[in-house]
Copies of this chain bind each other. A is one copy, B any other.
Amino acid sequence: MNKPDIPPHYFIQRKAKKLIKEGRDIILLSVGDPDINTDKRIIDAMYKAALDGHTHYGNIRGIPELRESIADTLNNELNISITSENIILLPGSKTSIFLLTTALLNKDSKIIVMTPTWGVYLYLLDRFHYKYKKLKLKFENNWRPSQEDIEFLKKEDFDSIIIINPSNPTGKVLPKEDIEAVTDIAREKDAYIFADEIYYNLIYDDKPFYSFLNTGYEKAVGIYSFSKAYAMTGFRIGWIVANQEIINQLSKVMTLLFTNVPDFIQYAALKALSLKDIVEKNREIFKNRTRMMESGLMQLGFKFHRVEGAFYIFIKTPENYRDSFQFANDLLDKAGVAVAPGTAFGDYPNYFRVVTSVSEDKIDRAINRISSYLNK
């Protein structure tokens, strides 16, 4: 089968949904949408806010109470010192790279994307005709930038660099020394760092997370979301942390495109921030599921690095397959399991990604199906 003309990740995803519609029992390990319902206290807060009349146009950047609460939370958890003026709410963190590139860069800007990365960012840069180069991290280096990668960055002329940490799709959490090394180079070049840190509170070791915001670099921008840790994917709410001048530029674009995140959704998010137990509970759930998936995959002989954060595993395709698209397509057809081919995350044709946020039962069945398929 030839490569589809749409991104392979979407091809598999659509095919999987089509099969489900046709009545096939498909296990989706392809979408990072936690198999957990939103806490009722969050939904109740949204309802109350809507009844209280928070159903009108709102502040472009978000309601002050939520921005203050986010600032407090991040200051506390990351040991930084930001204020509500450093924050803008977004209709999902997906919007972030579009807003940032639109507000701060132009079509001649030079962008580096550290890969493997969330495919949407690559498709977005392609779609809007930006020039970018990939900094291709390797399995052999445990998905960290090597000395060679650092040298490459030093030589490159770039205006901004896009990094996801903790990583989707690898589950790697970069250590402080890597964050500092990259930041030093960016600082020298006066380049923006667009750091997608949406999984910062889903880390499974005791090591404290070192954020790009911890570097104190004024052009470091942090991207965050309520989607994953709070199981609020469908609320479409995320935020950006940046210096005030950047936030000003972002609001000018926001006002042309979306007005604001619905105020009642912001009140739901405000409630979520006050419920520390949710993140802890969900982190424990995701950790257990991730370990369970790792264990199953390891027994089947798959090669990957242990997940440190987020809920994805980036796995080497079995050697008898030409590439991971072929593997993913076969796995879907013959085993009823949907995974994402590695090309969705950059130039990784021999890797595929599984999502580990699905239920224990699904993980169990998925492993069994993959096992049967491989041993046929």
Q: Flag A330-349 by CB within 8 Å of B: 1 or 0 each.
A: 00000000000000000000
Contact A53 B37 (CB under 8 A): yes
Find out whether the CB atom of B91 lies under 8 angstroms from the CB atom of A256.
no
- A47 in the interface, Cβ–Cβ < 8 Å? yes
Once the chains bind, are A234 and B55 in contact (CB under 8 Å)?
A: yes
The CA of A235 and the CA of B54, in the complex, are separated in Å by 9
On whether A257 and B38 interact (CB within 8 A), knowing A46-B50, A57-B234, A234-B264, the answer reads no
The answer to whether residues A50 and B31 also contact, given A234-B55, A234-B263 and a CB cut-off of 8 A, is no
Stretch binding the partner chain, chosen from A70-78, A92-100, A358-366? A92-100
Asked whether any CB of chain B lies closer than 8 Å to the CB of A153, the reply is no
Check if B55 sits within 8 Å of A257, measured CB to CB.
no
Provide the residues of chain B in CB contact with A252, threshold 8 Å: 127
Contact B31 A55 (CB under 8 A): no
Q: CB distance B98 to A256 under 8 Å?
A: yes
Residue contact A43 to B51, C-beta cutoff 8 Å: yes
* Known contacts A127-B253, A256-B124, A256-B127; is-contact A235 B55 (Cβ 8 Å): yes
Stoichiometry (number of copies): 2
Q: Does A233 contact B (CB under 8 A)?
A: yes
Q: Does A350 contact B (CB under 8 A)?
A: no
A interface, size bucket: 35 or more
Q: What are the residues of chain B within 8 A of A54 when measuring CB–CB? A: 234
Q: Which residue of B lies closest to A6 (CB)?
A: B252
Q: Does B51 contact A40, Cβ atoms closer than 8 Å?
A: yes
Residues in B neighbouring A46, C-beta threshold 8 A: 46-47, 50
Residue of A10, A37, A262 with most partner-chain B CB within 10 A: A262
Q: Are A92 and B234 in contact (CB under 8 A)?
A: no
* B120 and A233 form a contact (CB under 8 A): no
Roughly how many angstroms separate A233 CA and B37 CA in the complex, as a whole number?
Answer: 27
Residues of A at the B interface (CB closer than 8 Å) are 10, 31, 33, 37-38, 40, 43, 46-47, 50-51, 53-58, 91-92, 94-95, 98, 102, 120, 123-124, 127-128, 231-236, 252-253, 255-265
Please list 19 pairs of residues, one from A and one from B, whose beta carbons are closer than 8 Å in the complex, sorted by A's number: A31-B57, A33-B56, A33-B57, A37-B53, A40-B51, A43-B51, A43-B55, A46-B46, A54-B234, A55-B231, A55-B234, A91-B91, A92-B258, A94-B256, A98-B257, A234-B263, A234-B264, A236-B260, A236-B262
